[in-house]
Amino acid sequence: MNTPELGDAMASLQCLVEDAGIIVPFTGAGISTECGIPDFRSPGGLWTKNRPIPFEEFLGSQEARNESWRRRFAMGDEFGGAKPGRGHRALASLYRAGKVPAVVTQNIDNLHQASGIAPEHVVELHGNTTYALCLDCSARYELGWVRQRMDDANGCAPDCPACGGYIKTATVSFGQAMPDAAMRRAQDLTLSCDLFLAIGSSLQVWPAAGFPLMAKRNGARLVIINREPTEFDDVADLVARADIGTVLEPFIGR
């Protein structure tokens, strides 16, 4: 593990980026905190305020579906105006420069797409909270439609008009299966890169947390940028325990 001072870490990262042919960024909640979106696990994070609603509970209870949607709209009212931060914009610059073929993310906030990365090049392991899907027929619904239906029904979450299935944000809940296509694509990207950037992730959520180690074992350089230590720091080529936006800001506009 190489954990230099901030200036040295940024200089080392610059060299690694310049030398790399294919860079795969893997992002977690830490890249979005400067955008005003709190993470989940830290003190004051979203999970310290509300117990997550497991998928089976969502399926089994109208009250749970109502509460899940109530929380989603409350969160949207508080954080819905978030814009891409310096980290997002830096990765978008590397994407436009041809260094980054795609971004793998645990985030559900759509900020990588908003930064200018094409949606088809954002691999969302935990889905996307900016729209909804029917769990049975996969029909897409916009959040405004869901909210209007709930307002008209005194807070009762609507079912799918097409098939009667339950409508849920297009995210992966506790107990819900990970998306096979996204996981396969993330693995392919991980095995194709020579530089893997783990950014703003606690690397505690499996199986997604296994990708940095997979990249390292496949011969890629591994960089971890995160304020707190992770269990993979000891195997990384470079660790920057610093503000993500500050570390990545030099790459904006490259």
Nearest alpha-carbon partner for 106 in 11, 251, 226, 9? 226
Please choose, from the candidates 99, 232, 17, the residue with its C-alpha nearest in 3D space to the C-alpha of residue 9: 17
Choose, from 88, 112, 121, 126, the residue flagged as catalytic. 126
Contact 92, 115 (CB under 8 A): yes
**Do residues 86 and 34 make contact, with C-beta atoms less than 8 angstroms apart?**
yes
Active site residue 112: no
Q: Is the dihedral of CA 83, 89, 91, 94 positive or negative?
A: positive
Per the document, the length of the chain is 254
How far apart CA 125 and CA 163 sit, in angstroms, is: 26
Catalytic residues: 126
